[in-house]
């Protein structure tokens, strides 16, 4: 057992669990499962993809066997386009083959795609079996693996099919980021900057002080762990206050309303999610300045930080009419008005439901 692992509690009343963060924490998988009450002989289905499994599944399987668990490994194809019903069928087929029972466990070893699919497959197999998340992208470490939102895409839209299903444990080993493509790393940084703006001024200032936040190989490990810890904590706190997303969980959508417009209009695949969120934060920052909610100097600080992370800040060339139409189709529309999460200061945001089309046009004008 590694004494240096950090433990963050996600104190939900009905399903509390821990996020464990530590260098080489993957090696502790067996011990961590024993600690939360899993017993010898437990059947475990580890779900991963080749890009991740090639590096990390051996360590996980060995750790499980060492603790006398009974693991099977399922390797799926990588990619957002695999986040569909056919992959869920493959996971369920493997669950059947492995004779998983109500007390058995699925482990998601991978990025948000593997995490969302495995979580959903676990939520629906035998009306719900246990799941553990082992996120291996920065985005999944600070966002997707925490909070219990699971699901797959439908041909008509992203994440339309899903369920809330909290994991029993989230195990984060920052060393897995060594093999993550640099662009994916930077995309995860966008969500970290988001946590700074919505709830953690100290995190924001810590990032501001660094010379480099865009290149993983030049970020020191202590800093990376600190940044992941603070972000995971922010997400955990928000989830605890609002498990089923009826109130302040909306704050997590900061930068996402405009970000989704970019993803919709430019096509998924042109920009990574984090990149679209980065441009979305710049855009909504402008909207907040225009309304007199946010100091221009704070918006500038945000935009400089996004730029330092190697993320795009320039709003793409898009027809204003199309932007408006796309905003109207967003899930965040209530009674025809689009809702935006906007900052009052760095570290404090509110949800606004009364943004007029005129304001949005003016903002787009300024951005182009």
Q: Which residues bind ligand NAD (CB under 6 A)?
A: 49, 51-52, 78, 80, 83, 110-114, 116, 136-137, 139-140, 143-144, 147, 149, 159, 176, 179-180, 184, 273
Beta partners for 20? 7, 171
Q: What is the DSSP string of 147-161?
A: S-EEEEEETTEEEEE
CB of 23 to ligand NAD, least distance (A): 14
**Residues 194, 260, 264, 301: which is the catalytic one?**
260
Estimate to the nearest angstrom the gap between the alpha carbon of 61 and the chain centroid: 25
Longest dimension (CA), the chain: 63
CB of 368 to ligand NAD, least distance (A): 28
- Annotated active-site residue 7? The verdict is no
**Residues 243, 256, 263, 275: which is the catalytic one?**
256
Hey, what are 284's tokens? 């909504």
Within 8 A by CB and 6+ apart from 55, the residues are 176, 179
- Annotated active-site residue 39? The verdict is no
- Annotated active-site residue 260? The verdict is yes
**Pairing of the two strands 337-345 and 333-334:** antiparallel
**Cβ proximity to ligand NAD, 177 vs 364, nearer residue:** 177
**Residues 23, 72, 249, 350: which is the catalytic one?**
249
- Annotated active-site residue 92? The verdict is no
- Annotated active-site residue 321? The verdict is no
**Cβ proximity to ligand NAD, 147 vs 310, nearer residue:** 147
DSSP-derived 3-state class of residue 75: strand
Total residue length of the chain: 368
- Annotated active-site residue 335? The verdict is no
Hey, what are 260's tokens? 């989704």
Spatial separation of the C-alpha atoms in residues 344 and 288, rounded to whole Å: 8
Q: What is the DSSP string of 36-54?
A: TT--TT-EEEEEEEHHHHH
- Annotated active-site residue 245? The verdict is yes
**Residues 127, 156, 222, 358: which is the catalytic one?**
127
CB of 59 to ligand NAD, least distance (A): 12
**Cβ proximity to ligand NAD, 4 vs 54, nearer residue:** 54
**Cβ proximity to ligand NAD, 77 vs 102, nearer residue:** 77
Instruction: Please list the active-site residues.
Output: 127, 149, 191, 235, 245, 249, 253, 256, 260, 273
């Amino acid at each position: 057992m590694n004494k240096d692992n950090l433990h963050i509690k996600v104190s939900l009343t009905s399903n509390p669990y821990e996020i464990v963060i530590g260098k080489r924490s993957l090696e502790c998988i067996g011990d961590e499962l024993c600690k939360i009450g899993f017993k010898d002989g437990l059947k475990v289905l580890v779900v991963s993809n080749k890009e991740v499994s090639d590096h990390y599944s051996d360590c996980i399987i060995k750790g499980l066997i060492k603790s006398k668990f009974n693991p099977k490994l399922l390797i799926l194809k990588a990619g957002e386009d695999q986040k569909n019903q056919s992959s869920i069928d493959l996971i369920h087929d493997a669950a059947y083959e492995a004779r998983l029972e109500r007390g058995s466990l699925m482990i998601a070893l991978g990025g948000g795609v593997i995490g969302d699919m495995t979580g959903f497959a676990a939520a629906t197999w035998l009306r719900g079996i246990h799941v553990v998340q082992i996120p291996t992208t920065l985005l999944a470490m600070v966002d997707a693996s925490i909070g219990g939102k699971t699901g797959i895409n439908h041909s008509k839209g992203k994440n339309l099919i899903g369920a809330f299903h909290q994991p029993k444990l989230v195990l984060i080993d920052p060393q897995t980021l060594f093999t993550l493509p640099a662009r994916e790393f930077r995309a995860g940084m966008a969500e970290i900057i988001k946590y700074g703006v919505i709830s953690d001024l100290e995190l924001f200032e810590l990032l501001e002080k660094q010379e480099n936040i865009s290149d993983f190989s030049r970020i020191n490990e202590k800093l990376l762990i600190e940044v992941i810890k603070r972000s995971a904590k922010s997400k955990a706190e928000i989830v605890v206050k609002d498990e089923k997303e009826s109130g302040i969980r909306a704050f997590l959508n900061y930068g996402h309303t405009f970000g989704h417009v970019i993803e919709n209009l430019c096509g998924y695949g042109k920009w990574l999610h984090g990149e679209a969120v980065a441009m979305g934060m710049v855009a909504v920052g402008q909207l907040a300045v225009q309304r007199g909610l946010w100091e221009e100097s704070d918006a500038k600080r945000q935009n400089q930080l996004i730029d330092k992370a190697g993320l795009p800040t320039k709003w793409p060339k898009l027809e204003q009419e199309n932007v408006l139409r796309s905003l109207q189709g967003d899930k965040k529309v209530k009674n025809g008005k689009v809702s935006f999460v906007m900052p009052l200061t760095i570290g404090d945001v509110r949800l606004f439901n009364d943004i007029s089309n005129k304001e949005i046009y003016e903002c787009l004008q300024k951005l182009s």
